[in-house]
Amino acid sequence: MNIINTSLVFIFTFLIAQLSFASSCSVDLEGNNMMQFSSTSIQIDSSCSKFTIKFKNTSNLDKEIAGHNVVVSKSSDFDELTNLVDPSNGMNEGFLPSNSKVIAKTPFLGPNESYDLVIDVSRLNSGDNYVFWCSFPGHWGIMKGDLNL
Ligand SMILES: [Cu+2]
């Protein structure tokens, strides 16, 4: 009987640990009508192997006029990457060419569209500073936040 009780406690503790682990490896993020993200800072727990930004565009503007997306890069690569933004690269690419300095990105989203952006945490170093930003022309001056491990 004692063994069974001990086993149940162990299994229960394990399940709770899994649940809290899962909840800490994702965050909800919205982009709105005012060209603002709902958060300006994202902290990733180093125990996460993958981290998901659950992004939703709550704006009512068509994505061709003012779509929103999320790009993750090092802070030090931000200027170089924003200079590469060109609509000829397409909405699905966030107007960005293929570039190894882009750690993760979503397509541009229109009203009420959402996208789960999965970040490979092994690509982040705890000593470096990262940013998440919207690569729609004119947006990243405001739509930019810090992301750290
Ligand atoms: Cu935007």
* 5 CA from centroid of ligand 1 (Å): 53
Q: What percent of the chain has pLDDT over 90?
A: 84
pLDDT tens track for 66-108: 999 999 999 999 999 999 999 999 999 999 999 999 999 999 9
Homologous superfamily of the 25-148 domain (CATH) = Cupredoxins -  blue copper proteins (2.60.40.420)
* 92 CA from centroid of ligand 1 (Å): 14
Q: What percent of the chain has pLDDT over 70?
A: 85
pLDDT at 110: 98
* 79 CA from centroid of ligand 1 (Å): 17
Nearest to 73 by CA among 130, 121, 118: 130
Pairing status of strand 144-148 against strand 130-133: antiparallel
Domains of the chain, by residue range, sit at: 25-148
pLDDT at 3: 52
**Helix, strand, coil proportions of the chain in percent (round to 5)?**
30, 30, 40
Q: What protein residues have CB closer than 5 angstroms to ion ligand 1?
A: 68, 134, 136, 139, 143
Q: Is the pLDDT of residue 31 over 70?
A: yes
Q: Which whole number is the average pLDDT over 134-141?
A: 98
**Contacts for 62 with CB less than 8 Å, ≥ 6 apart:** 110, 111
* 105 CA from centroid of ligand 1 (Å): 13
- Distance of alpha carbon 64 from the chain centroid: 21
* 59 CA from centroid of ligand 1 (Å): 9
Q: Is the pLDDT of residue 121 over 60?
A: yes
Residue 99: strand, helix, or coil:
coil
* 40 CA from centroid of ligand 1 (Å): 14
Q: Is the pLDDT of residue 111 over 60?
A: yes
Whole-structure pTM value: 0.85
Q: Is the pLDDT of residue 42 over 90?
A: yes
